[in-house]
Every structure is written in C-alpha cells, then in structure tokens.
Structure 1
C-alpha cells in the first residue's frame, strides 16, 4: 500500500535555502507517532535539503506584503512550505 507523509517547514524567509525556524511531521504510514515540537533539531536545516532527500514540494505560502506598522508582527510564521513523500508500506 502507498501512504503519505507530510512535512511542514517554516523558513526564515521565502527562499527554499533559508533556515528552518519551525516544523511539523505527519506520518501517514503509522511507523512513527512524532508530533510538532518532539525534537530540538529540525529534520532538515533548509527546505532545499528536504528536496535533496526526496520530499516533493506541494505548496509554498504566497508572498504578501505586511500592512504599514505591522512589519515586525510575530503573531504567525509567514513562510510555510508543505512537502510530501509517498511511501510503500505492508499494512
């Protein structure tokens, strides 16, 4: 059977080679039960490294300018990239 793994990486800016500042991994294979924040070190240093490891980029956040006066608002992580891997399992 084919199962999907989803990796969400939040990067320092809009470039795929910028540093990972937050992440979540969802394993549809059932092999792991890790959740966001389970590890101190991100699974990859940059989004580009995830591509090198075979993850497929399926979505990047649109680049939207901040409203005047909100340039330094840290209420959310702006640069979200969604990756997937399709993994064969025996289940």
Structure 2
C-alpha cells in the first residue's frame, strides 16, 4: 500500500469552508510534492475532498485565543489532514 496525503487549511473549522492553503505529498511516486503557492487549490472545500474519496484522518483542535489576542496574526489554525491509499500490483499502482 502507498499513501497520498493532502493537507488543507480552511477559512474556519467547518469542513465545507473555503480552502485558503494546502500541501500534498504523493507516496506512490506518480507526482512530486506540491504546495499551494499561487496555484488553484485541488478542492474548494474539505467536503469536496471527502466527496472525491479522500479520508479525513485529523482535524486541528479548536483553541480559543487568549483575551486581548483575538486579532493577532499567526499560523493557519484550521488544518485538516486527508489520505488516499493506493495498492501496488506488480509495477502498477492502483487506487484502493
């Protein structure tokens, strides 16, 4: 089995929120790792990724800001990690 990982940063904690950043890593070797640097995101929302067969394996904790720091700029905090597994058959890799 080979794993593809997709990391989506959403505008808020809801899976149907807009994707504002992303990275993807392909353990099958079919594509090179990519990041969301100016290109269009692979999906418009996290829900779109689920509908395309990606499995959600982790969502970030919802941690409220400390009082007085509600408007500080920081890391993208609504991170969702998805995976797809692909089975290798001989030299070919197929979706599992």
The TM-score normalised by the length of structure 1 is 0.91
Give CA-to-partner distance per residue, 1:45-80, whole Å, 9 cap, x none. Answer: 000000000000000001110111211222100100
- Aligned-residue offset at 1:87: 1.1
What is the CA–CA distance in structure 1 between the aligned matches of 2:72 and 2:9, rounded to whole Å? 16
Which runs of 5 or more residues in structure 2 are unaligned?
none
**SS of 2:68's equivalent?**
coil
Instruction: Please identify runs of 4+ aligned residues in structure 1 that moved more than 3 A.
Output: none
**SS of 1:81's equivalent?**
strand
Query: What corresponds to 1:60 in structure 2?
Result: 59
- Aligned-residue offset at 1:88: 2.3
Query: What corresponds to 1:7 in structure 2?
Result: 6
**SS of 2:34's equivalent?**
coil
What is the CA–CA distance in structure 2 between the aligned matches of 1:34 and 1:85, rounded to whole Å? 15
Is the strand fraction higher in 1 or 2? 2
Larger radius of gyration: 2
The TM-score normalised by the length of structure 2 is 0.87
What is the CA–CA distance in structure 2 between the aligned matches of 1:87 and 1:73, rounded to whole Å? 41
- Aligned-residue offset at 1:39: 5.4
Q: How many residues align?
A: 90
What is the CA–CA distance in structure 2 between the aligned matches of 1:80 and 1:26, rounded to whole Å? 15
**SS of 2:35's equivalent?**
coil
